[in-house]
């Protein structure tokens, strides 16, 4: 299998949950990890976890809704660590609410975080990846990008959009040696959309962030002549 030691990996949304688990796993595999998140305390905790157990990490406070901050994160990676080899777009947000109760601010926050930010990061790293003939982009979507749910219309719209964006981008850049993969997790035990408030019995049946990190590990270890375009992960038992 391929080796990602000393490869440069950028993970957005790495302050907690799935993003944190992915960043730690990539660090464990020997990658030089650059992490971004809006929460300064959580981001620093992730960096400390990586440094105390598996390696080193560069933490850059980043609001992925803001183009300048996205560019700052990726420019730091490229200039201070090295050309980006792996990009994992994990930053996400959501609101569970009927459409009639949605505000414009809610809508903008969800679409800008879950979809526009991925466009911004990909557009930034792709020229270097294409020029080098290598690179791997992994976008974390959701089962909500496959099936609609009541009170999640805007969240689902953002994830459906991310699925389509990822599939189209993969076709654009595969001939340049750049791989683009999609992971769609089912119910995962994080504090996203109030999942941390569910009963312990329900949470035991949910996926863990480590399950998603394991899928990322599988993707980045694929041989160069192939790539897994999409992974759908569901809990064995319905929560």
Q: Write out the catalytic residue numbers.
A: 155
129/11 Cα distance (integer angstroms): 16
Nearest C-alpha neighbor of 8 from the set 64, 63, 75: 75
Sign of CA dihedral 128, 221, 213, 8: negative
């Amino acid at each position: 299998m391929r080796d990602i030691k000393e490869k440069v990996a950028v993970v957005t949304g790495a302050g907690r949950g799935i993003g944190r688990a992915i960043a730690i796993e990539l660090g464990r595999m020997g990658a030089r990890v650059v992490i971004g998140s809006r929460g300064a305390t959580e981001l620093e905790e992730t960096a400390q976890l990586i440094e105390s157990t598996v390696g080193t990490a560069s933490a850059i406070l980043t609001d992925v809704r803001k183009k300048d901050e996205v560019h700052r994160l990726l420019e730091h990676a490229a200039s201070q660590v090295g050309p980006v080899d792996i990009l994992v777009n994990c930053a996400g947000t959501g609101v569970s609410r009927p459409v009639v109760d949605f505000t414009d601010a809610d809508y903008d926050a969800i679409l800008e975080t879950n979809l526009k930010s991925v466009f911004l990061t990909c557009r930034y790293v792709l020229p270097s990846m294409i020029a080098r003939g290598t690179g791997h982009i992994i976008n974390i979507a959701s089962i909500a990008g496959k099936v609609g749910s009541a009170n999640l219309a805007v969240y689902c719209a953002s994830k459906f959009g991310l699925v389509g964006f990822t599939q189209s981008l993969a076709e654009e850049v595969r001939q340049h040696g750049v791989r683009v993969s999609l992971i769609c997790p089912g119910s995962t035990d994080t504090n996203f959309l109030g999942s941390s408030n569910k009963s312990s019995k329900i949470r035991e049946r949910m996926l863990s962030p480590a399950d998603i990190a394991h899928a990322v590990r599988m993707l980045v270890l694929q041989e160069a002549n192939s790539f897994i375009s999409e992974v759908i992960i569901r809990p064995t038992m319905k929560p």
